[in-house]
């Protein structure tokens, strides 16, 4: 049986020889000059996002939205069946009351994300990586796997296939199946070499997004645990991003992965095959994919933030109008009912449709229809509402 061995081929490339799985190469595999323009766009967008006003009302709502979306996305990638709305509802419950394994997966992910957030940096440091500890991998896997009814997946325990056991990752629909290392001696050696490579001087000082992306990529190729590797690998990526100030985008990018799930899975195999053929820059496509995902994600976070700020200003203006008796309590309540109805229906409605709503009807109990239409006209005149194509929409 061959001996375990490691050799640095250059400053950023570590080749590992295993007992039974052959050689395994950790490499940068990317043309930094080709990626620099998109890196600059991503970092500029993230820097502007980090400098937005840290109003508690805004931050809390962004955090709530991103948490539900991120957990929904990473869980769906692994075959979860809950909708985003159902996910948000489960996450709002007391974890101690959760009994079903499928629901516990969600609350476990929430706990793992909250643990990562304790290591978050507030300021962006796009080229200053921080050491990554092997213990963090086991901590994250224990968090995502705890209290699940899965005897085949002990929390925090590395995989050790028996001679008759075969582990396959992927399928033909996503670029082909891959057989990861299977004996625990090889997996232990590889996961330790992976951390050594991540923390080596010329890798830790690479652009943080590229280092985080490659940490995720090589973790999935090692596939060290029986189950939960996808969730844990994305959390590893998030951890490295959070350490350097990629606030919210670190997990919000999972929505991009889920939306583009075929390409996401296929790239693992495509890049792996290019590396086997010793092609130049075999990891470029995966890096490009993540960079585009990060940019789109951060731009979306800007949109969410701007919408929330606009809504906050609208509410302040509305409260001011009520306090100064520019609008009545009834008109004030009508606007809040309209906001609620639009949120429930997911669309705007006409004046007549609004009047037929049971809650609006109760608000105008004992009043004439003319009173309702006068209130609408007054709110449009003051700019709190507007009308377009016969539909009532919120003003600005």
Binding-site residues, please?
227-234
DSSP assignment letter at 153: S
**Which DSSP string corresponds to 40-99?**
HHHHHHHHHHHTS---HHHHHHHHHHHHHHHHHHHHHHTT----HHHHHHHHTS-GGG--
Kindly write down the DSSP assignment for every residue of 202-259, as one continuous string: HHHTS-HHHHHHHHHHHHHHH--BSS-HHHHHHHHHHHHHHHTT-TTHHHHTHHHHHH
Query: Measured between alpha carbons, how far is residue 92 from residues 83, 289, 306 in Å?
Result: 14, 32, 25
Q: From the candidates 141, 223, 262, 320, which is the catalytic residue?
A: 223
Task: Give the single-character DSSP code of 282.
Answer: T
Burial class (CB in 10 A: 0-12, 13-18, 19+), 301: buried
Whether the Cβ atoms of residue 128 and residue 204 lie closer than 8 Å to each other? no
What is the SS3 assignment for 54?
coil
d(CA 266, CA 261): 8
| Alpha carbon distances (Å) from 289 to 110, 160, 210, 263 | 25, 32, 11, 9
Query: Which segments are annotated as binding site for ATP?
Result: 227-234
DSSP β-bridge partners for residue 349: 392
Active site residue 223: yes
Catalytic positions, please?
223
């Amino acid at each position: 049986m061959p001996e375990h061995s490691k050799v640095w081929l250059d400053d950023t490339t570590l080749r590992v020889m295993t007992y039974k799985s052959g050689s395994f190469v950790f490499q940068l595999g990317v043309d930094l000059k080709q990626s620099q323009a998109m890196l600059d766009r991503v970092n500029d967008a993230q820097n502007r996002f980090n400098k937005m006003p840290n109003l508690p009302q805004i931050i809390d709502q962004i955090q709530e939205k991103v948490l539900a979306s991120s957990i929904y996305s990473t869980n769906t990638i692994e075959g979860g069946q809950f909708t985003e709305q159902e996910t948000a509802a489960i996450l709002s419950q007391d974890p101690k009351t959760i009994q079903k394994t499928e629901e516990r997966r969600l609350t476990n992910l929430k706990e793992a994300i909250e643990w990562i957030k304790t290591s978050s940096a507030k300021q962006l440091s796009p080229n200053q990586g921080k050491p990554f500890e092997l213990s963090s991998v086991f901590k994250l896997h224990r968090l995502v796997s705890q209290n699940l009814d899965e005897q085949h997946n002990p929390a925090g325990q590395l995989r050790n296939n028996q001679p008759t056991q075969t582990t396959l990752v992927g399928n033909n629909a996503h670029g082909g199946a891959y057989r990861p290392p299977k004996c625990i001696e090889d997996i232990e050696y590889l996961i330790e070499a992976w951390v050594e490579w991540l923390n080596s001087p010329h890798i830790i000082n690479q652009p943080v997004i590229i280092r985080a992306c490659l940490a995720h990529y090589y973790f999935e190729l090692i596939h060290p645990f029986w189950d939960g590797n996808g969730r844990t690998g994305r959390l590893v990526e998030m951890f490295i991003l959070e350490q350097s100030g990629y606030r919210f985008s670190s997990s919000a990018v999972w929505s991009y992965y889920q939306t583009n799930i075929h390409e996401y899975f296929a790239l693992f195999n495509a890049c792996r095959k290019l590396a086997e053929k010793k092609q130049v820059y075999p990891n470029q496509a995966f890096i490009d994919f993540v960079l585009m995902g990060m940019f789109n994600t951060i731009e979306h976070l800007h949109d969410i933030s701007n919408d929330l700020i606009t809504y906050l200003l609208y509410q302040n203006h509305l409260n001011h109008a009520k306090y100064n008796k520019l609008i009545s309590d009834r008109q004030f309540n009508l606007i809040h009912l309209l906001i609620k109805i639009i949120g429930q229906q997911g669309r705007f409605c006409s004046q007549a449709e609004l009047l037929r709503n049971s809650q609006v009807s109760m608000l105008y109990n004992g009043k004439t229809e003319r009173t309702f239409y006068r209130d609408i006209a007054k709110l449009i005149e003051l700019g709190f509402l507007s009308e377009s194509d016969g539909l009532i929409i919120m003003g600005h």
